[in-house]
Structure 1
Amino acid sequence: MALKTLDIPAPAQLRPRWAAFAAVLAARGWGDGCRADDARWHYDDGGGNWLDLHHFEDGRALIVGHDHEYSNTYYGPAAEYFQEEETDLLAGTPAWWEPPVRVVQDAGQWVGFVYGFEDGRWQCAPYEPDDGFGSVGLPALNAEMTVEFVTEYTKESPGRQAPPSTAAIEALIAADCLITEDLLTAVIGPQPATPTAWNPSAGVAAARAFRAWPRHRQ
């Protein structure tokens, strides 16, 4: 069977929003939950649900992840462990999809979904069960989600008396990972000189870690 084409933004479209949210979390001191580690972009919800986007030199990319509540796909060791029918997440897929998946499995993690990006589109194997991708809740999927998440996560900033404006968040996103402390401060608010203050410079560094990828803009 042919691979299924998915309605997910290209990596270059995801990057500005992913980087903006990473900046806010890093400034708050929660940078591990949303970050760029060279060619791997990571997001998790803090509750055990996660996904990684792996970049390749020629513009290809791979998303691998799992939602422990809503991934109804049981791939490899998970099928045996849970005594469920296996969903082959790599059925009919190119060979280059497999190595990152094997790394995750070798680390003892379950895999609920695997999506490959090539020739301008995301695809997955032709399976039917809900794989949990949507419930992981990646904020970068669209601007509305990013604005919503940033607004929610800045509520407790000691520099904010009211939610940030949508215009300030949109300006942070528009910087496409090349944000400045001024842009970030407009979102998190001017920080007081106290131990609980957030760190704008950490946020700027986190956003700029997304700069190197993708090498080829889609």
Structure 2
Amino acid sequence: MTIQRPGLPQDLPDPEVLWARWALVAVVEATTEAEEGAGYRTGTWIDDEGLHLDDCGCTWWTFSRLGEGRYVLYGEDESSGCKWHEPPVDMLAGGPAWLPYEVLRNRLAGNELGCVYWYDNGAWARAPYPEDLQDDGLDCGMSRFVERDEAHRLLDEYVGYGTPGRELLMEHAESLRLTPELLEEHVSSLEGGAPDLPAMTRALRRAGLDAQLS
């Protein structure tokens, strides 16, 4: 699946698929130390706000569930031209009433927002863009989860390059059948030792990738 530049709503997969792939990475990366850490956080993780990605460099993203069948995806990659366009793109134009406007407007005020997409009534949508806008950052930010092979590669450090465990974990995450037992069997820490299973289980429960834990 290819993301255009700038992105189009139809470039994004079903939100449950996007959620499962992103959340799986957050689960395998979960550690108690990161959970308890104070201050600025990087990597991939899940909290009460939703799923997060921050590479400590040029890209950050948040993906939130906002009720039955409603999602919002927002963030920034340095490739986005929305805020630099003249005049700046109104990234909230046409947005539904349930969007987290306070959060989004705070990001806009801090010049920290690159694009906003929302999902409702079975379809993705975004604000209209001017014809000369070159990029909104969606491709650079989200290809890692939208393209299945890229999502597999995000698991390599924790599961092993090219191992069957990558596909097995992804399949179980996407079908909401992921279990702590599977994580314990296939995931290792970055140092190659035992994973932080309690932290991964907490992240699994929060993400709802196992129907019995959600």
Distance 2:33 2:73 in 1: 25
Give the superposed CA RMSD: 3.2
What is the number of equivalent residue pairs in this alignment? 190
Aligned with residue 105 of structure 2, among 87, 102, 107: 102
The answer (yes or no) to whether the contact 1:21–1:150 under 8 Å persists in 2 is: yes
The answer (yes or no) to whether the contact 2:189–2:195 under 8 Å persists in 1 is: no
Distance 2:189 2:55 in 1: 26
Aligned with residue 53 of structure 1, among 63, 70, 73: 63
Alignment identity in percent? 29
Report the TM-score, using the length of structure 2 for normalisation.
Answer: 0.73
Matches within 5 A, 1:78-97: 84-97=86-99
Distance 2:196 2:9 in 1: 40
Q: Deviations over 1:80-139 (max 9, x none)?
A: xxx953111122333333614124346x35111010101111111121421111112453
**Amino acid in the other structure paired with 1:168:** G
2:153 is the alignment partner of 1:143 = no
Distance 2:148 2:196 in 1: 24
Distance 2:182 2:119 in 1: 31
Q: Which has the higher contact order (CA 8 A, sep 6+)?
A: 1
Distance 1:164 1:142, change over 3 A: same
2:178 is the alignment partner of 1:179 = yes
The SS at the match of 1:169 is helix
Distance 1:88 1:186 in 2: 47
Distance 1:92 1:137, change over 3 A: closer
Distance 2:177 2:190 in 1: 21
Unaligned runs of 5+ in 2: 1-7, 36-40, 210-214
2:77 is the alignment partner of 1:73 = no
Q: Deviations over 1:37-69 (max 9, x none)?
A: 2352212223241111122223211111111x2
Bigger-Rg structure (1/2): 1
Aligned with residue 20 of structure 1, among 10, 24, 41: 24
Distance 1:6 1:97, change over 3 A: farther
Distance 1:104 1:178, change over 3 A: farther
Report the TM-score, using the length of structure 1 for normalisation.
Answer: 0.72
1:34 Cα deviation from its structure 2 partner: 1.8
The SS at the match of 1:41 is strand
